Structure 1
Amino acid sequence: MALLDRNLIHRNVTFSDSDNALKMMAEAMVAQHFVKPSFVEAVINREHQFPTGLPTGGITVAIPHADWTNVHKGTISVATLKNPVAFKNMGDPDETLNVRLIFMLAVDEPHAEVKLLQDLMGIVQNQAALQGLLDAKDDDSLYNRLESMFRDVTVGTGKKESSK
């Protein structure tokens, strides 16, 4: 099972606000049949109740997600933003963060989210890796960098992906 799909990687994009970003990314997941149409509203509603902006020490990220019942097949959508978008801070919802990278998660099993978030935390704490994603010169370069980062990350299969 491939975690990443080229149709869900968005490089150097512009969104008007966080809701627009979530809607556009989630709708791409629906179009590729990874998630149910209910995922779009679910991920936006969840973000309003439980913000996912994460101050990582430089390049700020958001990790939006919705309940596994809205997911057909686990995946991650990634967007590098041309201009930062305001997301509320996960740890302090009264604080607004200027997010440059969005990692939208779709997990297809209950409890798989915790494991995926743990794996993702190791990635987002690496500022050099995050900068490398923002600096990708073309879509292929961004995809290849992400593929390398996520090679051993799974979204609900319970097994590590083998390197190919």
Structure 2
Amino acid sequence: MQVEKLVSESDIFIDRKFQNEQEYFEVIAQHLLKERKVKSSFLDSVLQREKNYPTGLDTGKIKVAIPHTDYTKANTTQLVVTTFKSPVGFHQMDNPNNIIPVNLAIMILFNNPEKQPQMLKYIMKIVQNQANLHEIINTKNIKSMKKLFENFGG
């Protein structure tokens, strides 16, 4: 897995404002559809998956969501990184009735089921460390964010 290809500058969103997770998914899915990185069924699929298997993680002070859906809905393998200007409520993975204030979403796109475990391992290495999350949240430049994710993989 080539880390430098996992994060595209066009798919990094810094200090974005969303009213809720629904709006986040709609805006990001529309963007990815325009880029032809996902299929037209992506939005419905990711919303349904989020409803059945929430992706909000209480990782400490800085909380993360790792949304994704079935590999058949994506045309590429990569990450979409979004930091939120104000936290967005996501249902918690290990307590679905609980909504947690998420500061960072790292959406996974993968077009091959064999790539999912590698992607999750890479992301979990990043999100289990508050220092990494603090660095991500404080990065305000797209090129710097891309480089940061490359460095995490090294």
TM-score, normalised relative to structure 2? 0.91
Residue identity in the other structure for 2:74? V
Distance 1:54 1:4 in 2: 21
Residue 148 of structure 1 aligns to a residue whose secondary structure is helix
**Runs of 4+ residues deviating >4 angstroms:** none
Confirm whether residue 21 of structure 1 aligns to residue 35 of structure 2: no
User: Which residue of 2 is the match for residue 133 of structure 1?
Assistant: 136
* Match among 44, 49, 69 for residue 46 of structure 1: 49
Deviation per residue, 1:1-56 (Å, 9 max, x gap): 61111111000100010011112122222222221121121111111111000011
More strand by share: 2
Q: CA 1:131–1:70 in structure 2 vs 1: closer, same or farther (change >3 Å)?
A: same
Question: Could you list the runs of 5+ residues in structure 1 that have no partner in the other structure?
Answer: 153-164
Q: Which runs of 5+ in 2 are unaligned?
A: none
Q: Which string of whole-angstrom CA distances, capped at 9 and with x for unpartnered residues, describes residues 74-131 of structure 1? A: 1110100000000011001011110000001111112422231122111101111111
Length-normalised TM-score, structure 1: 0.86
- Size of the aligned set, in residue pairs, is 151
CA distance 1:141–1:37, change in 2 (3 Å): same
The structure showing larger relative contact order (alpha-carbon pairs under 8 Å, at least 6 residues apart) is 2
Answering whether residue 81 of structure 2 is matched by residue 78 of structure 1, we say yes
For the aligned residue pairs, the C-alpha RMSD in angstroms reads 1.4
Aligned identity (percent) is: 32
Aligned counterpart, 1:36: 39
